[in-house]
Amino acid sequence: MKSLLLKGLEVLNLYPWFNRYTSNTATVFMLHGVSSDSNGERYEISVDQLRGFLDYLKRSAYSVISLAEYTEALRNQRDLYKTVVFTVDDGYRNFYLNSYPLFREYDYPATIFVTTDFIDRKVFLWWDKIEYAITTTTQPNLDLSEHNFGVFQLGTERQKALAVHRITEQCKLLEDHQRRAMVDRIVTSLDVDLGGQPSGKYEPLTWEEILKMNQHKIDFYPHTRTHPIMSRLPYEQKLAELTESKKILENRLGRTLDIFAYPNGKIEDIDADTIKALRETGYSAAVTSIPGFNHTKVNNNLYMLHRFAIPHHRLWFKQYVSGMEYAKNRIRKM
């Protein structure tokens, strides 16, 4: 029903009617990976979908600005209209291979939050370890009942995908040291060799690629050193993750970097101590994974900026950027 409604709006060219609701806000999108094929694989969208989105923004005269420009607009209560911001988390190399050429072609900026130990090849991101171990194992099941996770059947691709999702979500609830121990236990139980460095779809950007893109409207900011969930860290570890990743990236890029993205970024992943640590370590703003909009004409908590996961379908994309989603949010709050 919803898709039919959105299709009707497109056929009748009614999306521009909602543009009035884009005044003094921006649609901030969050993505992690872009696939080179139309299947999308584990990524949110494909190259073809991203091209379609960027082409629509260009043809419809949208303003695509950097996250730094957006935070300044919020800070200074600046007027905005039909504005979009693209952000990317973690620092996978697929951005350089699949997305960067399109952003250059359309001359649009984007902001990438990188996990610095991932870029330095010191860590294999923990959820990728889970996925790799489960999808490549020959073991028929995984028994984690001793740890209150349950028993997972791994006989089919569907069972493996379900196990990856459920185990990853359960691991997010653990303290950082518990999660690391659990992931190592899973890899050992499934008798999988991680092979050292992440490769293929798990591969991180190189510093050379980061420096190259940074010269062409792609900004980089810290996303911690090892990607822990911040609310589950002791205060001193919060400070270390924030300080060390900031210092590494600033030394590489030669400028001050004061915007942060919370790993995972849900409301339960952010606590008052994390915001205190952000202030203490020199950050002036932070983005969450909480859907929603910020408005430039009100006083915003710049440490709780909202983002939308980038949608798969062009109709949903139009709903977000046109102002329709903002209008719906206003109606829900009435």
Residue 106 in tokens: 């359309």
Strand pairing class (45-46; 141-144):
unpaired
What is the model's pLDDT at position 40? 45
| pLDDT tier at 63, thresholds 50, 70, 90 | very high
- The CA distance from 49 to 141, in Å, is 36
**Residues 76-87: pLDDT tens digits?**
999 999 999 999
- Residue 289 is predicted with a pLDDT of 97
pTM of the shown model: 0.94
- Strand segments, DSSP code E, in 97-185 are 110-114, 141-144, 150-153
Length of the chain: 334
Q: Of all residues in the chain, what percent carry a pLDDT higher than 70?
A: 94
Alpha-carbon torsion 147, 149, 155, 160, what sign?
Answer: negative
CA dist., res. 84 & res. 55, Å (int): 13
Give the tens place of pLDDT for each residue, 228-251.
999 999 999 999 999 999 999 999
CB 82 within 8 A of CB 25: no
How many whole angstroms separate alpha carbon 129 and alpha carbon 135? Answer: 10
Does residue 195 have a pLDDT over 80? no
Residues 6+ apart with CB under 8 A from 81: 19, 22, 23, 24, 63
Q: Report the pLDDT value the prediction gives residue 98, as an integer from 0 to 100.
A: 94
12-26, 27-41, 177-191, 215-229: range with lowest mean pLDDT: 27-41
> What structural domains does the chain harbor?
2-121+199-333 (3.20.20.370), 126-189 (no CATH)
Average pLDDT estimate for 317-330: 90
> Quick one: average pLDDT of 272-293?
97
| CA neighbor of 286 nearest in space, from 276, 296, 297 | 276
Cα of 217 vs its chain's centroid, Å: 18
Tokens representing 142 are 């995984």
